[in-house]
Amino acid sequence: MSPIDAHIPKDTPIKVVPATALPHIDGALSYRANAPVRVGQLVSTPLGKREVVGMVIGAANDADINGMTLKTVTPYDADYHLTPDMRQFMDWVAKWYLEKPGLVLKMASSVPSALKQDALTIGYHAVATPDQANTVRRQNILKNLSGMMPESLAAIRELTGATATTIKAMCKDGLLAAVPVKPHNDQQYHADGNMISGRQQKLTVEQAAAAKTLADAVAEQKYTAFLLDGVTGSGKTEVYFEAVAEALKAGRQALILLPEIALSQAFEARCHERFGFRPHLWHSGLGDSRRRAVWREAIRGTPMVVAGARSALFLPFRNPGVVVVDEEHELSYRQQEGVRYHARDMAVLRARLSRIPVILSSATPSLESLVNVEQGKYQHIRLFSRFGSAGMPDIKLIDLGKTPAERRRWLSPPLVDAIGKALEKKEQVLLFLNRRGYAPMSLCLSCRERIVCPNCSAWLVTHKSAGELRCHHCGHNSRFPTVCPSCQTEGMIMPCGPGVERLSEEVELRFPDARQGIFSSDAITTPALAEQFFNAVYNDEIDIIIGTQMVAKGHHFPDLTLVGVVDADLGLGGADLRGGELSWQLLTQVAGRAGRASRPGQVLLQTAMPEAMVLQSLIHDDRESFIAAEKAARSEAAMPPYGRLAAVILSGRDEARLMMMAKQMANDWPHFEGVTLLGPAPAPLRLLRRNYRVRFLLKSSREVNLQRVISSWLDRITIPSAINCQVDIDPVSFF
C-alpha cells in the first residue's frame, strides 16, 4: 500500500480506480501517468473508447502489470486531489454497503465538467479617461468602469445599461479594451468568518447554553456526535447556526444536510439573514454551472456553507469544520437506488474520520439515535421550550366511530366546525393527508377489478387534475379509462378513497370563499415553486393548506393555528417494524406546524383507532412512554437498533428462472452461526418496472459482520447476467 499522500514520478506504473458503473470492474486498473501524480489525485482515465474520471490509489507492482502495455492517464488540476480522510470515507462506504469503489468515486466526482478548465470569457476595461469620449453616454460608461477589473458584457450592461453594440464601438474607437478573463466567484456566497454581517437572533438561556456547547466543540476541532433534540419551534436551527459560525471563523467549511429540496429556498433565506451571505445549495435540480462552482470550492478548501440533499455528503471538502443533519429522523436520507447508503449514518462516519463534530437535529429523534445516546456514543442536548411566546398546541382525537364524516366525504363534523371557526378569526388551517393525487386506487363497479400498473404490481393512482392514472413506482401514466380493461363495461370505473386533490374538492364545496393551495410533490416540483407557495402563505394569500408529508418538514407559518389530520391511522397496523415510530414522528411534526407564534394552536386527529398507543402518546404529550415501549418491543425481537438486518433482492424478467435461482441460493446458504436467513419469498412489490422481484432477509445480532457473511455466501454462487442481485445493508424499506 502506498503512503497516504505519496508522490509518484512521471511514467511510473500506477493503480487507478475508474469512476464507473461497469460490472466487470471491481477495483483498480493499471496505467501510466504523463506527469507526476500523487495518491488521491483525480486523473482523466481512458476506459475502452471513452475517458472517465479516475483516482490514483498508489504505484502498481510487477504482478499488476504482467507485461501489459499500459495506457496513459492525464492529471487534472493539482487542486483536484481527494484528502486522506475523504478517501478513507469512500473506502468505508464501499465496504459497508458492499458496493464497488468506482461507484462511490462516481458520487464524489459527480460534476465531470468541474474537472475541466473553464473556457476564457471576454472582459472589457477602460483604457481611456472620460474626457476623451465624445458623448455623455460614453463618458458615463468610462466613469463606471474606471479603475475596475475587466468585466463581462452582461455585467457592464447591468451596471451601465450599455448595449453590446455600444461596447464594441468603444473598443473600435480605442476607449475600451477586450481581454480574455476567467470567471470570478460570486460574492453573494462569500463566507468570510471574520466578516459575518447578518443579524444574530437573541437566544434564550436554554438555547445559548446549547449553542455554546456546540460552538466549543467546533473550536476544539475534534470528533463528537451530538443529538440536538428540541420540540418543534424550539429554535434548533438558530442553535446549530452558532456552530456553523464558529467553523467559518476558523476558516473552515460547514455542511448542512436537509431532507427535502423544497426546504432549501426557505433555509437559504434564514442563512442569509444570519450570516449575511447565501449558502451554496446542492441538489439534483441545480444547474451544471452552480454544481461546478460548489464542487470546486469544496475541493479547494474555500470557507463555505453548503446546504444540500444527501448527495452533498460526497462533496470533496478539503477543510471541513462541522456537519449538521437537519431532521435526522427522516427516511429520505436513505438512498434507495444505486449505492444504497444512509446519509445520516455516513455523516457521522464522515465527521469521525475528519475529526470534527457532527450535529443530528430533530424534534422527533430516530430510535437509532436515542439508543446511541443511551449507549454513550452521542451527547444529548435537549431544548424543551418553544421560542418566544409560542406554546405547544392542544392535541385532540376525533373518534370516527362516534362522529364519522358524511358518505363520500372525509372531514368529520368536529373538524369542519373547527375549520369554520379558524377562518372566521382570519387564521390559517393545515389539512394533512399523506396521499398524493385524487384517489389511491380506481375500481370497476361491475367486475370489482382494481386498475393496476402494467409494469408493477401496484394500483394506479388517480390524478384528476391531469385526467390520468399514474404509477408512483415506475412513473407510468395513462388517460383515465372510460371502459374497464378487464370486463369492457363502460362508465363503471370509480376512484376509491381520498387523496389531496379529492380533499381539495371537499374543501371547495364546504368553504367556497376560502383560498386554498395543495402542497405535494406533484404540485411543488422545484424549490422556486416551494418559495412561491410559502410566500403566498406568509402574505395571507392562502387560508387552507392541503398537504402531504412534504408540509411536515421544518416549515414555519406564523398565522397557522389549526392542523387537521384527515387520516391519522395511515401507517398504523402494518408489518413495517418502524411503522409506529414513523407515524409518531410524522404526526408530531405535522402537529408542530400549529401555533408557532403568539396565537395558540390546535391539532385534531381523525381516527378509527383511538386507543392506538401512538395517538394516546400524542394527546397526553407522553413521548417517553411511547419510546420506552418501542425500545422494549424491538429489543425483545432483536430488531434494529438492537439487532441487524440486511436484504438481498433478486430481480429479472423471467419469474420462473428467478425463483429457480433463489432456491439454488437458499440451498447454497452455508448456515453462519448467529445469522437467520428468511426467504426466498416474492417481494411485497412483486413486479417493479417489468422486473419480478424475490427477497431474502438476513437477521443477526449487532456483533455479527453481516457484510462478511453476505460476501462469503455470494462468492459461492454464479448469478446469470439476466438476473440482478442487489444487497441492501441496514434496510429501512421492505417493499
The string of pLDDT tens digits covering residues 693-722 is 999 999 999 999 999 999 999 999 999 999
Rg (C-alpha) for the chain, rounded Å, is: 29
Share of the chain above pLDDT 90, in %: 73
Question: Residue 51 is placed in which grid cell?
Answer: 475517458
**Cell 399514474 found at:** 470
Percent of the chain whose pLDDT exceeds 70 = 95
Given a contact cutoff of 8 angstroms between Cβ atoms, the answer to whether 70 and 30 are in contact is yes
Q: What is the tens place of the pLDDT at every residue in 670-696? A: 989 999 999 999 999 999 999 999 999
Contact 268, 240 (CB under 8 A): no
On average, the pLDDT of the chain sits at 91
Of 129, 256, 244, 130, the residue nearest 193 (C-alpha): 244
Is the sign of the CA dihedral 77, 83, 86, 87 positive or negative? positive
Question: Which string of DSSP letters, residue by residue, matches 674-727?
Answer: TEEEEEEEEEEEEEETTEEEEEEEEEEETTS-HHHHHHHHHHT----TTSEEEE
Residue 253 has pLDDT above 50, yes or no: yes
- pLDDT tens per residue across span 621-653: 999 999 999 999 999 999 999 999 999 999 999
User: What phi and psi, each to the nearest 5 degrees, are found at residue 223?
Assistant: -75, 125
- Report the distance separating Cα 523 and Cα 469, nearest Å: 16
Instruction: Give CA–CA dist 4/607, Å, rounded.
Output: 59
Measured in residues, the chain has a length of: 735
Q: How far apart are CA 683 and CA 687, in angstroms?
A: 8
Q: What is the predicted pLDDT for the residue at 419?
A: 98
pLDDT for residue 140 is more than 90: no
Averaged pLDDT, 415-426: 97
Question: What is the distance of C-alpha 469 from the center of its chain?
Answer: 27
Measured between alpha carbons, how far is 348 from 237 in angstroms, rounded to an integer?
19
Tens digits of residue pLDDT in 144-159: 888 777 887 877 886 7
Q: What per-residue confidence (pLDDT) applies to 260?
A: 84
Q: Is the pLDDT of residue 732 over 50?
A: yes
Give the pLDDT score at 185: 53
Q: pLDDT higher for 734 or 407?
A: 407
Least reliable range by pLDDT among 22-31, 209-218, 331-340, 647-656: 22-31
Phi, psi of 24 (to 5 degrees): -85, -5
Average pLDDT over residues 278-287: 87
* Predicted pLDDT at 78: 85
For residues 699 and 644, the answer to whether their CB atoms sit within 8 Å is yes
Q: DSSP string of 237-260? A: HHHHHHHHHHHHHTT-EEEEE-S-
Cell of 601: 394552536
pLDDT band for position 45 (cuts 50, 70, 90): very high
Query: Who's near 309: CB < 8 A, 6+ residues apart?
Result: 257, 258, 261, 282, 283, 284
Neighbour count for residue 129 (Cβ, 10 Å): 12
Helices (H), 461-538: 500-510, 527-538
Which helix (H) or strand (E) covers residue 93, if one does? helix 84-96
Reported as a single tens digit per residue, the pLDDT across 47-101 is 989 999 999 999 988 777 777 889 999 999 888 999 999 999 999 999 999 999 9
- Report which of residues 26 and 394 the model is more confident about: 394
Confidence class for position 190, pLDDT limits 50, 70, 90: low
Kindly state the average pLDDT of the residues 169-191: 75
| DSSP for residue 131 | G
Cα distances (angstroms) measured from residue 584 to each of 571, 591, 614, 722: 10, 10, 6, 42
User: What pLDDT score does 620 carry?
Assistant: 95
Residue 359, strand partner residues = 226, 324
Which three cell numbers mark 693?
Answer: 422481484
Label residue 1 by pLDDT band (50, 70, 90): very low
Tell me phi and psi for residue 20, to 5 degrees: -145, 155
Determine contact, residues 43/74, Cβ cutoff 8 Å. Answer: yes
What is the DSSP-derived secondary structure letter of residue 172? H
Name every residue whose Cβ is closer than 8 Å to that of residue 200 and which is 6 or more positions away in sequence.
Answer: 274
pLDDT-derived band at 191, boundaries 50, 70, 90: low
> Mean pLDDT across the stretch 156-171?
87
